[in-house]
Structure 1
Amino acid sequence: MEYARVAFPLPQDLTFSYAIPVRLQSVAQRGSRVLAPLGEGTREGVIVDLMDEPDLPDDSIEIKNLADCLDDTPTFSDELLTLTKWMSEYYLSSWGEALRCAAPAAVRTRQNRLVHLLATDEQIAEMRQSRQTEILSILKEDDGLSIHQIARRMGAGISKLRPPLAALQEKGLVELQSNVQSKARPQTISVVSLAKPVSEIHEQISQLGAGRAPKQAEMLRILLDCSDETLTTTELTKRANTSLSGLQSLERKGLIHFESVQIVRNPMSLDPVPSTQPLTLNPDQMTALQAIQGAIDSAKRELFLLHGVTGSGKTEVYMQAMASVLDQGKQVIVLVPEISLTPQTVSRFVGRFGSRVAVLHSNLSDGERYDQWQQIKGGAADIVVGPRSAIFAPFPNLGLIVIDEEHETSYKQDAAHPFYNARDVAVRRSELVACPLILGSATPSLESFYHARQEEYILLRLPSRVSNIEMPPVEVVDMREELKRGNRTIFSTSLRTAIEERLSKGEQIILFLNRRGFSTHVFCRACGYVERCDHCSISLTFHFHTKRMGCRHCGYERPTPQVCPECGSAYIRYFGLGTEQVEQEVVKAFPKARVKRMDSDSTTRKDAHQQILDVFRSGEIDILVGTQMIAKGLDFPNVTLVGVISADTALNLPDFRAGERAFNLLTQVAGRSGRSEAGGDVILQTYMPEHYSIQAAQGHDYIGFYREEIGYREALLYPPLSHAATILLRGEVEAEVTQAANQLLDQLEVFKEDRFPTVEIRGPVPAPLAKIRNKFRWHFLLRSEDVEELRELIQCAVAATAPTNIDLIVDIDPMSVL
């Protein structure tokens, strides 16, 4: 008998031993996804090891069999198993949680627990408990419903349904069965082909045409004429203007075959992408490529930081390096921030490398993601372009990893364990497979540039734009002076004049504000009351078009009051500025301009993001108003003016990375202007013109910014001079959260004094966002130069505390402390 050790996506970092039944021994391999009994049901897990003997803590434990194997070939290679194990250890998650990150949701299973009726009519009639009786009555009418379906019919929550269901199960009146389905399956089409020699088909056409089946004769004639085409049943019946019954009749006569053929759901645009050829590189690009080429040719793991200003041709360097890797029969992973992953970005790679490019991102359907993953796994694709999760692409012979806009915070997972940073995972994966890694950015993360200064990364520079196009001049406008001059509008005199000038020339304008909505809060001027979310400790944002207020954290909405709920005053005012209000002000100030807004509120429909960009590119929009969606990776030659309505929004956040985020965003959005020989300008409005992030952005001066910021980080021992970790505790009862936080502090201090004296502990204090979705939040910030000590201290203290009814979330190397 063979045995498997299986990891499940559970918070506890445990694995479980199972016997492999004979029927599964040929397919159940290390890295295979399996179904296995766990608790009361069956769960999907991954085999992480095979054994001759079960690994059981107690010989009296009965070992169970695996229920099924979901893979013909393993989903996870040995390399990906090693990578995910490292992730689980570094980010303090379970191995199963790390493995869940490494496979797209589309290839996972969906499990329903179905409830089947066992009770007789007499037993139902004798039942006295109302909820149990209601469940049995529902099942009598419609047996085999899922728990969720029963809950919906009863109008009850799942939690209230569990006790009566458990009681019915214990009495033997119902049984629960697990129903496991794949989230996505291969898509097939039915194609038609001739089953007889051509001479016989001609005879049949004559007979059928002379008889009562002219449509059948017509279909045979079409199949003869299109013998070099693959016709589906739908296409054939449409061409012959007939129904499926005629085709079925031809099949019964043995004249045609039906065959089921699997097709690939293509997420690319249906419009053909013109092929492109490699461009001639300038000397700086050539120097960078030669350095990368040396590492590719020697199959050597080197880490390159490609620091190039916006428009300097970083993508061309990537693509020529990628072509060299493909020539060696190897594969490439290209990571792009989700926000930049537009068809425009993907088409650059498709235009150069054709159908060998697979794409992964969140806007794909489950079916499209499933097919793209299978294309990668099956060897039909050599390049994958995608967001952070694409770092787990199952390439067997990886030759290069590229991370574009490597400074982007979206490379950090923040929704579920493990809270990994794809950049750091890429560094580890490049080490495992001994391949080069290129980190590209106009505004490198402080961590990456620090590593380059320490000679841990090789720094490559592209200091100028291609074709000798100058960087756009940036004018900083002090809005305090505008206010003194009586200008209370959102447009400075300089920005208003520049917009009018560009509109008169038929040129395009981008106006940027990284805050959506109409107003950031609704305020009573009589008593000072502010409308706040009922579930979170933040003010509600007013949306003009819906006339409703909404919470950007939990989605809660309610109508805007006409009078103050607190004092009854009618002096309700809207304060703060969002993109929706900017759009309105632009329309008022420039009534002849064609204006469009692009933010997460205006792009909720699938492909809405791309549709707006396509219309803008075609010249049908004069002014595009938007958030950070318009700041990244977009190239519009006719944009000659970028206006930043308020440069201060990011600077005012209580976060040690606030200055870095502000500089990065301002530099990136400024880079959208002047990307052709027509040139361009940037006007940056601020109430803090003296801030070093603003001044550095004005001069496109990354080095100047780095010197200031690294000095601040050194003085306070913030990353990259140390490693940081946050511990967040949250729960519905504030007193319980506070108590758990103080208990954890006691344990942290005990272990720190005993074993980890160099770790600095700050907190616990209420988090800046002290309540979200009805849960109160307290947090700690820990720092140490030794990340191993940091992680071990947290593990020891959390294990010793183990609070109940409290969520405890650990984030190693956090991107935010909000």
Structure 2
Amino acid sequence: MSDSTFFVDVIVPLPLNATFTYHYDGGRNIVPGMRVVVPFRNKPMVAIVRNIHHDCPTDYKTKSIYDILDLVPSIQDSQLNFWSWIANYYQCCIGEVMKAAVPTSLRLDGDALISVSEEVEVETQNEWSDKYREIYYYALGDKALKLSKLIKEFGKKNVYSIVSDLVQQGVFSFDSLLTRNKQVVKMVRLAKEYQHERTLEIIMRGFRRSTIQLDILSLFYDNISRSGDSSISFSLSEIKAKYSYSAIQALIKKGVVEKYDQSIVLDENISSTTNNLPILSLDQERVYKEILSSFFTKQVALLHGVTASGKTEVYIRLIADCLKQRKQVLYLLPEIGLTTQIVRRLKSVFGNKVGLYHSRISDRQRMELWNEMLQYDPKVEDGPCQVILGARSSIFLPFKHLGLIIVDEEHETSFKQFDPSPRYNARDAAIVLAHIHQCKTLLGSATPSIESYHNALIGKYALSTLDKRFNDVALPDIVLADISESKRTKSMQGSLTPELYHEMKEALSNNKQIILFQNRRGYGLWVQCRDCQWTPKCLHCDVSLTHHKGDNALVCHYCGYKMYMPKICPTCSGSQIHDIGFGTEKIESEIAALFPQTKLLRLDLDTTKKKLAFDKIVREFENHEADILIGTQMVTKGLDFSNVAVVGIMNADALLNFPDFRAYERSFQLMLQVSGRAGRAKGGGKVVVQTSDVKNPLFMDVIHSDYVGLYRNQIRDREQFCYPPFYRMVSLFVKHKFQNYVDQFADQLAQILRQQFGNRVLGPEYPLLSRIQNQYQKQIILKFGPSDSVSTSKKRIQQIIQFLNQNSEIKGVTVVIDVDPM
């Protein structure tokens, strides 16, 4: 190697606990954070440069970097440091962090879409090699070309190098041609020759036997007659929601209807100036000043504000202060759905300074936002990407001048990533991210986590409280309804107790809206044969199948396994197969029968699978196009509906009776959060909690909205039984497709761990679900007290697992480490 050769440590997007060293002979500038193509396991792979040095490895011969893909780093030093912390703290591989953090297009994964410029000067093409021209013209012939298609045709090494150069020349771009505030929507309209009321009327006579096609044409005819606009169009998704897709396709084939793409603006307000700052109440002003003052001495503040107390207005004022200093703000929400209303409120104030980032936006939009943030210039007062609103993955964005992180609904378990690795908690990681950027963190919740509230009380965080609703609106009245008594007296109306049924009737008569919360989707929770008690179970998971009546199917909510609902019991040939329990779908069916004149909406995973479906349902309910909203946890968090008078919690017992030390805390949080949807504008709302355990002391805390009372009870138990926040926990899940392998390996692992950590080790035990997706699993829990070095202990755990993997006779066992499990 020459004297100009230097060595580069890179991160590859694979579950490997190391960086890998390659040599580079110069020619182009290379710095940490740049993307390079390297040979890895005899295949080209895109990697991120972590370090550059002149120390040649002595134990192996280095390979050469194929190519450099960037002119400037795609990943910043602060991000690389953050990745290292995530990998170290959550005991995962830095390659897994890279894969979670970087958009597909930056990794040049096979799914990355390539857009091709058709306007390339002849002089530019003359400078290309034959291979460049071949790849360019091949790509030019495909308007929606995936990188994987080019790789298959030309090979990874050629494609990465040439595509990279063509990207730098502006000839190729990765999925980022559309601006963030636009989206292409499929539309349908009448073909031009039929865009006349009289012509359409004549053609409709030929469709009398095709009733669905006739209905679609009637939709156009009615709207043309009403509006006089012959070119009226509808979104394809809107038509598909009402009519069969085959009928639409038939009309398209006949040339009567045509399909086309239309770019729509998603941003309702694209103003670039800050305006309409909210006027704060005296309470809000007090809290706002307290938080500003606390930031002089504390890095983290907790805002404990009851539901509808106006926490968002305080956030907006703090964001405005941050923007005046030309700094960026990260506004974290636990659920994608919560962005629906919040993004409108933020955009009404900050316009296109607001960027949206979560898993439901396309890779094209993610890449666009990433590039804009890399180019962020604090000197440009009205530039984009100053306020980022997003779910947990937005902590990985390339912030340049971060001034504040807001974590709204900080108690939510949705901030915790469960699978795949890295299994990080975005709330806790955000506090570390703020430390890296030397900025502040504000946590907000009506029902803070026990850990956060404890940190505030011991002085680790600052604490501010809003204990009244905005404009002194009264909190809703919460009443208990005894399910057991109602069943005994045979006064139940389906799944409704007389108390809830009465409140719903009264609300509907007053033109008010209702929310019903049931934390299980589907029709019946499971089905059973009355004669032999047979219950169908998933073939791949240790769980009963849930009945979905709309699909006439039994579905596993863990792996997606599906079977048709049987009419005859396969065990005893009986026909008495019935549903047990009720999910949101069954409640919807019962309410439709009880209140036939009302319009219902259902908000759960089944009804929100399509893009923008959540937004559509929320908007309809917000605009009072429906009277009753039935949903799972999606309806409990952060939604603001001014006309809701009644909230029904259908089965509180299912929340309480869960084998987890956080069960009471989470039950309280859920019930209080969903209760907060009632009476937000004028007060006087009513919440009916249906339960068979009316004497449970937790309900007194819920009825009186007594978070402090709950905290006192829970913190006493946590300290006595060695749980967080007094003890730190690490869970180990031993997994294998053979149960006896899991048993043997878990026993060996627990034995070695006990030799090292003694009585801190609990288990192994089978969790509530002992098999998921054909993998049996056993759990081992380790607890570490205040005097223990958790970081040292985690490293020792890794070493023990690696030792056992290498020396055990049982092979192929996976051990999943979950730090700070939730």
Q: Given the alignment of the two structures, is residue 39 of structure 1 paired with residue 38 of structure 2, yes or no?
A: no
Q: C-alpha distance in 1, partners of 2:284/2:338? A: 24
Q: CA RMSD in A?
A: 2.6
Which of 808, 811, 815 is the equivalent residue of 1:804?
811
Any idea what SS the aligned residue of 2:654 has?
A: coil
* 2:658 corresponds to: 653
Instruction: Give, as a single letter, the amino acid of the residue that structure 2 aligns with 1:43.
Output: M
Any idea what SS the aligned residue of 2:766 has?
A: strand
Q: C-alpha distance in 2, partners of 1:21/1:622? A: 69
Give the structure-1-normalised TM-score: 0.79
* 1:480 corresponds to: 484
Q: Given the alignment of the two structures, is residue 782 of structure 1 paired with residue 782 of structure 2, yes or no?
A: yes
Q: Following TM superposition, by how much is the alpha carbon of 1:468 offset from its aligned partner in structure 2, in angstroms?
A: 0.9
* 2:602 corresponds to: 597
* 1:526 corresponds to: 531
CA contact (8 A) 1:519 1:542 kept: yes
Q: Write the mapping of 1:81-160 to structure 2, written as runs, cut at 5 A.
A: 81-111=80-110
How big is each residue's C-alpha offset from its partner over 1:691-744, in whole Å with a ceiling of 9 and x where there is no partner?
333321221111111111112212211111111111111111111121211221
Residue 188 to residue 447, structure 1, CA distance change in 2 (3 Å): closer
* 2:201 corresponds to: none
Any idea what SS the aligned residue of 1:359 has?
A: strand
Q: C-alpha distance in 2, partners of 1:700/1:479? A: 22
Q: C-alpha distance in 1, partners of 2:326/2:440? A: 15
Q: Given the alignment of the two structures, is residue 463 of structure 1 paired with residue 467 of structure 2, yes or no?
A: yes
* 2:373 corresponds to: 376
Q: Given the alignment of the two structures, is residue 635 of structure 1 paired with residue 644 of structure 2, yes or no?
A: no
Which of 354, 357, 360 is the equivalent residue of 1:357?
354
Any idea what SS the aligned residue of 2:770 has?
A: strand
Any idea what SS the aligned residue of 1:808 has?
A: strand
Q: Following TM superposition, by how much is the alpha carbon of 1:367 offset from its aligned partner in structure 2, in angstroms?
A: 0.8
Residue identity over aligned pairs, in percent, reads: 35
CA contact (8 A) 2:36 2:67 kept: yes
Q: Write the mapping of 1:411-560 to structure 2, written as runs, cut at 5 A.
A: 411-488=415-492, 489-560=494-565
Which of 561, 566, 570 is the equivalent residue of 2:571?
566
Residue 329 to residue 270, structure 1, CA distance change in 2 (3 Å): closer
Q: C-alpha distance in 1, partners of 2:53/2:521? A: 55
Q: Following TM superposition, by how much is the alpha carbon of 1:498 offset from its aligned partner in structure 2, in angstroms?
A: 0.7
Residue 71 to residue 487, structure 1, CA distance change in 2 (3 Å): farther
* 1:401 corresponds to: 405
Any idea what SS the aligned residue of 2:656 has?
A: coil
CA contact (8 A) 2:22 2:62 kept: yes
Q: C-alpha distance in 2, partners of 1:455/1:807? A: 40
Residue 712 to residue 543, structure 1, CA distance change in 2 (3 Å): same
Q: Following TM superposition, by how much is the alpha carbon of 1:178 offset from its aligned partner in structure 2, in angstroms?
A: 7.8
Q: C-alpha distance in 2, partners of 1:34/1:665? A: 47
Residue 307 to residue 6, structure 1, CA distance change in 2 (3 Å): same
Q: C-alpha distance in 1, partners of 2:817/2:264? A: 38
Instruction: Give, as a single letter, the amino acid of the residue that structure 1 aligns with 2:737.
Output: E
Q: Following TM superposition, by how much is the alpha carbon of 1:148 offset from its aligned partner in structure 2, in angstroms?
A: 10
Any idea what SS the aligned residue of 2:678 has?
A: coil
CA contact (8 A) 2:568 2:575 kept: yes
How big is each residue's C-alpha offset from its partner over 1:262-304, in whole Å with a ceiling of 9 and x where there is no partner?
xxx99834577898512222233222211332366x5x65210
Instruction: Give, as a single letter, the amino acid of the residue that structure 1 aligns with 2:266.
Output: M
Which of 10, 15, 26 is the equivalent residue of 1:11?
15
CA contact (8 A) 1:301 1:435 kept: no
CA contact (8 A) 1:358 1:376 kept: no
Residue 146 to residue 33, structure 1, CA distance change in 2 (3 Å): closer
Q: Following TM superposition, by how much is the alpha carbon of 1:179 offset from its aligned partner in structure 2, in angstroms?
A: 5.0
Q: Following TM superposition, by how much is the alpha carbon of 1:584 offset from its aligned partner in structure 2, in angstroms?
A: 0.6
Q: Given the alignment of the two structures, is residue 311 of structure 1 paired with residue 308 of structure 2, yes or no?
A: yes
* 2:277 corresponds to: 278
Residue 84 to residue 350, structure 1, CA distance change in 2 (3 Å): same
How big is each residue's C-alpha offset from its partner over 1:615-661, in whole Å with a ceiling of 9 and x where there is no partner?
11121101111111111111111111111111122222222211111
Q: Given the alignment of the two structures, is residue 268 of structure 1 paired with residue 258 of structure 2, yes or no?
A: no
* 1:289 corresponds to: 288
Instruction: Give, as a single letter, the amino acid of the residue that structure 2 aligns with 1:322.
Output: I
Q: C-alpha distance in 2, partners of 1:693/1:109? A: 52
Q: C-alpha distance in 2, partners of 1:100/1:317? A: 35
* 2:670 corresponds to: 665
Residue 147 to residue 612, structure 1, CA distance change in 2 (3 Å): closer
Residue 106 to residue 306, structure 1, CA distance change in 2 (3 Å): farther
How big is each residue's C-alpha offset from its partner over 1:122-153, in whole Å with a ceiling of 9 and x where there is no partner?
xxxxxxxxxxxxxxxxxxxxxxx99999xx9x
Q: Following TM superposition, by how much is the alpha carbon of 1:71 offset from its aligned partner in structure 2, in angstroms?
A: 2.7
Q: Write the mapping of 1:703-782 to structure 2, written as runs, cut at 5 A.
A: 703-752=708-757, 757=758, 760-782=760-782
* 1:391 corresponds to: 395
* 1:325 corresponds to: 322
Once the two structures are overlaid, the 10-residue window that deviates more, 433-442 or 77-86, is: 77-86
CA contact (8 A) 1:350 1:357 kept: yes
CA contact (8 A) 1:513 1:579 kept: yes
CA contact (8 A) 1:340 1:633 kept: no
Residue 378 to residue 112, structure 1, CA distance change in 2 (3 Å): closer
Residue 21 to residue 338, structure 1, CA distance change in 2 (3 Å): farther
Instruction: Give, as a single letter, the amino acid of the residue that structure 2 aligns with 1:722.
Output: Y
Any idea what SS the aligned residue of 2:532 has?
A: coil
Any idea what SS the aligned residue of 2:51 has?
A: strand
Q: C-alpha distance in 2, partners of 1:798/1:439? A: 36
Q: Following TM superposition, by how much is the alpha carbon of 1:412 offset from its aligned partner in structure 2, in angstroms?
A: 0.7
Q: C-alpha distance in 2, partners of 1:560/1:178? A: 52
* 1:260 corresponds to: none
Any idea what SS the aligned residue of 2:542 has?
A: coil
Give the structure-2-normalised TM-score: 0.78
Q: Following TM superposition, by how much is the alpha carbon of 1:793 offset from its aligned partner in structure 2, in angstroms?
A: 3.6
Unaligned stretches of 5+ in structure 1?
A: 114-144, 153-173, 190-237, 239-264
Q: C-alpha distance in 2, partners of 1:175/1:672? A: 56
Residue 188 to residue 548, structure 1, CA distance change in 2 (3 Å): closer
Once the two structures are overlaid, the 10-residue window that deviates more, 304-313 or 86-95, is: 86-95
Instruction: Give, as a single letter, the amino acid of the residue that structure 1 aligns with 2:610.
Output: R
Instruction: Give, as a single letter, the amino acid of the residue that structure 2 aligns with 1:398.
Output: L
Q: Following TM superposition, by how much is the alpha carbon of 1:502 offset from its aligned partner in structure 2, in angstroms?
A: 0.8
CA contact (8 A) 1:307 1:459 kept: yes
* 2:63 corresponds to: 64
Residue 50 to residue 272, structure 1, CA distance change in 2 (3 Å): closer
Q: C-alpha distance in 2, partners of 1:790/1:446? A: 24
Any idea what SS the aligned residue of 1:545 has?
A: helix
Q: C-alpha distance in 1, partners of 2:367/2:88? A: 29
Q: C-alpha distance in 1, partners of 2:293/2:779? A: 47
Any idea what SS the aligned residue of 1:690 has?
A: coil
Q: C-alpha distance in 2, partners of 1:418/1:613? A: 32
Matched positions, count: 675
Q: Given the alignment of the two structures, is residue 699 of structure 1 paired with residue 721 of structure 2, yes or no?
A: no
* 1:187 corresponds to: 177
How big is each residue's C-alpha offset from its partner over 1:481-513, in whole Å with a ceiling of 9 and x where there is no partner?
212222243111111111111111111111110
Which of 411, 414, 422 is the equivalent residue of 1:410?
414
Q: Following TM superposition, by how much is the alpha carbon of 1:375 offset from its aligned partner in structure 2, in angstroms?
A: 1.9
CA contact (8 A) 1:727 1:811 kept: yes
Instruction: Give, as a single letter, the amino acid of the residue that structure 1 aligns with 2:393.
Output: S
